[in-house]
Structure 1
Amino acid sequence: MTVIRDDEAVEPSSSSTLPRRQLGRFLREWRDANGFTIAAAAKMVDLSASALQRIEAGQTQKVRKQDVRALCELYAVGPEDMRAAIDLAVVARTQGWYHAYGGLYSDAFNMYVGLEAAARRVVSYHEHIPGLLQTEDYARAIIGAFPGFADPADVDRRVEHRMKRQAIITRKSGPVTLEVFLHESALHRLVGSPRIMAMQLRHLAEVSKLDNITVRIHPYSAGLVWGMSRGPFMVLEFDTNSKGEFVEPPIVFLEGGPSQDVYLERPDEVRLYGEFASAIRSASLDEGRTRELIRRVTKEFDHDQH
Structure 2
Amino acid sequence: MSEGVVSGVPRRVLGRALRELRSEARMTLEGAADALGWSRRRVWLIEGGGGPTRGADVRAMCELYDARTRLTGALVALAGETRSKGWWRAYEGPVPAWFDVYAGLEADACGLREYQHALIPALLQTRGYALRVEGHLPAGERDRVVGARLARQGLLRRTFPVPPRLEVVLSESVLLRAAGDPATGVGQLRHLVEVGGLPQVSIRVLPFAAGMCAGVLAGPFVLLDFPPGNRAEVAPPVVYQESMTGALYLDRPHELAAYQRAWASFDNLALDPDQSRILIEKILEETRRPASGLP
Give the equivalent residue in structure 2 for 1:162: 149
Runs of 4+ residues deviating >4 angstroms: 241-245
**Preserved CA contact (<8 Å) 1:22 1:109:** no
Q: Counterpart amino acid of 1:15? A: V
CA shift for structure 1 position 112:
1.4
SS of the residue corresponding to residue 165 of structure 1 reads: helix
Q: Out of 235-244 and 75-84, give the one that drifted further.
A: 235-244
CA shift for structure 1 position 60:
2.5
**Preserved CA contact (<8 Å) 1:198 1:298:** yes
Give the equivalent residue in structure 1 for 2:32: 41
Give the equivalent residue in structure 2 for 1:199: 187
Matched, 1:299 2:288: no
Distance 2:176 2:6 in 1: 42
Q: Counterpart amino acid of 1:102? A: Y
CA shift for structure 1 position 106:
4.3
Matched, 1:275 2:261: yes
CA offset digits 1:59-105 (Å, max 9, x no partner): 131x22222112212222222211110001111123x2222243644
Within 5 Å, give how 1:251-270 maps onto structure 2. 251-256=238-243, 258-270=244-256
SS of the residue corresponding to residue 214 of structure 2 reads: coil
CA shift for structure 1 position 282:
1.3
Q: Counterpart amino acid of 1:227? A: G
Q: Counterpart amino acid of 1:301? A: T
TM-score, with structure 2 as normaliser: 0.91
Matched, 1:16 2:7: yes
Within 5 Å, give how 1:69-218 maps onto structure 2. 69-94=59-84, 96-102=85-91, 104=93, 105-106=95-96, 109-127=99-117, 128-145=119-136, 149-150=137-138, 152-173=139-160, 174-218=162-206
SS of the residue corresponding to residue 171 of structure 1 reads: coil
**Preserved CA contact (<8 Å) 2:86 2:250:** no
Question: Relative contact order (C-alpha < 8 Å, sep 6+): which is higher?
Answer: 2
Give the equivalent residue in structure 2 for 1:26: 17
Give the equivalent residue in structure 2 for 1:226: 214
Residues 193 and 265 from structure 1, CA distance in 2 versus in 1: closer, same or farther, beyond 3 angstroms?
Answer: same
Give the equivalent residue in structure 2 for 1:66: 56
Distance 1:102 1:161 in 2: 16
CA shift for structure 1 position 219:
0.6
CA shift for structure 1 position 274:
1.2
Residues 37 and 245 from structure 1, CA distance in 2 versus in 1: closer, same or farther, beyond 3 angstroms?
Answer: closer
Match of 2:275 among 277, 289, 298: 289
Residues 18 and 163 from structure 1, CA distance in 2 versus in 1: closer, same or farther, beyond 3 angstroms?
Answer: same
**Preserved CA contact (<8 Å) 1:102 1:110:** no
Residues 244 and 271 from structure 1, CA distance in 2 versus in 1: closer, same or farther, beyond 3 angstroms?
Answer: farther
CA shift for structure 1 position 108:
6.0
Residues 244 and 171 from structure 1, CA distance in 2 versus in 1: closer, same or farther, beyond 3 angstroms?
Answer: same
Match of 1:51 among 42, 45, 63: 42
CA shift for structure 1 position 283:
0.4
Distance 2:121 2:210 in 1: 21
**Preserved CA contact (<8 Å) 2:48 2:230:** no
Paired-residue identity, %: 35
**Preserved CA contact (<8 Å) 1:264 1:270:** yes
CA shift for structure 1 position 244:
8.0
CA shift for structure 1 position 243:
10
SS of the residue corresponding to residue 223 of structure 2 reads: strand
**Preserved CA contact (<8 Å) 2:178 2:185:** yes
Structure 2 residue runs of 5 or longer lacking an equivalent are none
Q: Please tell me the root mean square deviation across aligned C-alpha atoms, in Å.
A: 2.0
TM-score, with structure 1 as normaliser: 0.87
Distance 2:81 2:7 in 1: 9
Distance 2:71 2:278 in 1: 47
Count of matched residue pairs: 286
CA offset digits 1:2-41 (Å, max 9, x no partner): xxxxxxxxxxx83211111111100101111121101112
Q: Counterpart amino acid of 1:113? A: A
